[in-house]
Amino acid sequence: MTISVLIADDAAMVRAGFAALLDAHEGIRVVGEAAGGRETLALASRLVPDVILMDVRMPEMDGIEATRRLLGPDNPVGELPKVLMLTTFDIDDYVYDALQAGASGFLLKDASPEELVHAVRVVAAGDALLSPGITRRMIAQFAANRPRPPRAAAVLAALTAREREVLLLLGQGLSNSEIAASLFLSEHTVKTHIGRVLTKSGARDRVQAVIFAYDAGLVEPAS
């Protein structure tokens, strides 16, 4: 199956470079380019891409607000795309807000072509760009300064002991296979537990689950 990609960035050369890199790989097709947030919403509604490469800072409407609208309850797109944030900074004050809005991770603009292609394939498959890399460290930094959500303790209490173990390892950045090996479970069983964690916590995906793990105090920022 071909992964359709929409590139949203106000720099024409950046868009052209990413498009050339992605189109050169089998199974990935760039279907559109947008120079701002409002144009991104319009094109996403018309093209319904699988993945959107979303720049954090854009004119008219920034990437965070565009992500919030794309993935919110009043989204203009029938089938929700996966959003991969693009940033020039390894720690960007605004990317955490984008992750909360439902983005599946973020990528530095100076990432290698291999990292870009890998990131697109990872988020298109429904996974999240968490580890190795910077997203988990960023989540930890911001979670350390946030008040604990009032319902976090209740949700955490609703998890089984095994689900808490899986969430803890997920929050530490482990993949499904690593979690399975650590807990002596099959990957299928790990996926089942993660699915139940998502349902009980109300998280959209793995990124949201990791945010919840920090917010609930299950994973400590210093760990």
pLDDT average per 10 residues of sequence, the chain (223 residues): 94 93 94 94 92 90 90 70 81 66 81 88 75 56 64 87 93 82 92 92 80 80 54
- The predicted pLDDT at position 196 comes to 94
- The predicted pLDDT at position 104 comes to 83
Instruction: Give the orientation angle of helix 176-183 with respect to helix 187-201, to 10 degrees.
Output: 110
Asked if residues 95 and 62 have their Cβ atoms less than 8 Å apart, the reply is no
Return the structure tokens found at 144.
């350390």
Same domain flag for 176 and 111: no
Distance CA 2, CA 5 (A): 10
- The predicted pLDDT at position 56 comes to 87
- The predicted pLDDT at position 171 comes to 81
- Number of neighbours of residue 105 by Cβ within 10 angstroms: 26
Same domain flag for 81 and 165: no
Same domain flag for 38 and 122: yes
- The predicted pLDDT at position 173 comes to 73
- The predicted pLDDT at position 142 comes to 62
Does a structural domain hold residue 112? yes
Q: Domain containing 177: what range?
A: 148-215
Same domain flag for 26 and 94: yes
Same domain flag for 124 and 163: no
Same domain flag for 88 and 38: yes
Same domain flag for 108 and 205: no
Distance CA 36, CA 60 (A): 6
Q: How many domains does the chain have?
A: 2
Does a structural domain hold residue 195? yes
Return the structure tokens found at 217.
């105090």
- The predicted pLDDT at position 140 comes to 64
- The predicted pLDDT at position 132 comes to 44
pTM comes to: 0.72
